[in-house]
Amino acid sequence: MARVKDIAEPDAAPREDSVDPELVALPAPPKGRRLAAMTVMALTVVASLALVGSLRADIAYFFAPATVVDLGEVTAVDPAALEPNTFVRVSGTPSAAHTVRYGKLLSSTTYAVFPLAGQRDVFVQVPVAGAEEERSLARREYAGRLVTFGQLGGRFSQVRQYLGDAMGVPVSSESFLILADEPPGSYGWALVLAALCLLFVLVNVVLMLRWFRPLPAGEPAQGST
């Protein structure tokens, strides 16, 4: 007599591409919340890329040659021969009567901007604080980053306006400004900030692709019955 097999055979192993019924039973996340999360992440990516773009000149200056270019006496400088975003040194007498002082929003440092006597094409910016201002305005040699007022954008619009309206010193977007005491090595912060922004971009893009990718064809969406 044949023996009856009374032990049930084990279930077949689940296929790798099968859908877990417990996951399917979970409610789908609210569409509004998904859309809000994706919008915030996309805005973070755009803002980070925009900030990296605004730092291009600062990063380029960080990698500029650290050897200072001596321009000599400012009255002998040909503005057409000047190359912005370079490390230069110039000699000249500050025009104390045309000095503008201002402070930055996120910094406690006060700065003075003034033209050098005998010309109106090259200006100098120096950090000043108490007795430092007298020493800065008393020296005749300034070394730092050479930029144009146009490169500084809106953050220098009030300084330009004050120099022109209140002091009668014409300043255009092509006028040069030496950011004294700022060698290329002092712009390492721009490289760090750009790297941090790119990290934000990478993390957000990876999360967006992982969390919001479309389901494969034929696979039921979460929350479906």
Q: pLDDT tens digits, residue range 2-52?
A: 554 454 455 555 555 565 666 556 665 567 777 888 888 899 999 999 999
Token pair for residue 37? 């999360």
Residue type, 216: P
Of 98, 194, 107, 105, the closest CA to residue 155 belongs to 105
Distance, CA of 157 to CA of 78 (rounded, Å)? 25
Mean pLDDT value of segment 152-171: 84
Average pLDDT, integer, range 103-112: 78
Q: Residue 91 has which token pair?
A: 């000699």
Cβ 29 vs Cβ 46: under 8 Å? no
pLDDT > 90: what percent of the chain?
A: 47
Instruction: State pTM to two decimals.
Output: 0.75
Strands (E) located in the chain: 69-73, 86-91, 100-103, 110-115, 122-128, 141-148, 176-180
The secondary structure of residue 1, as a DSSP letter, is -
Angle between helices 188-211 and 31-54 (to 10 degrees): 160
- Give the model's pLDDT for residue 224: 43
| pLDDT tens by residue, 190-202 | 999 999 999 999 9
Burial class of residue 194 in the structure, from the number of CB atoms within 10 Å of its CB (0-12 exposed, 13-18 middle, 19+ buried): buried
Radius of gyration (C-alpha) of the chain in whole angstroms:
31
Q: What is the 3-state secondary structure (H, E, C) of 102-135?
A: EECCCCCCEEEEEEECCCCCEEEEEEECCHHHHH
CATH class, domain 67-182, is mainly beta
Domain boundaries, the chain: 32-64+184-209, 67-182
Q: Helix, strand or coil for residue 179?
A: strand
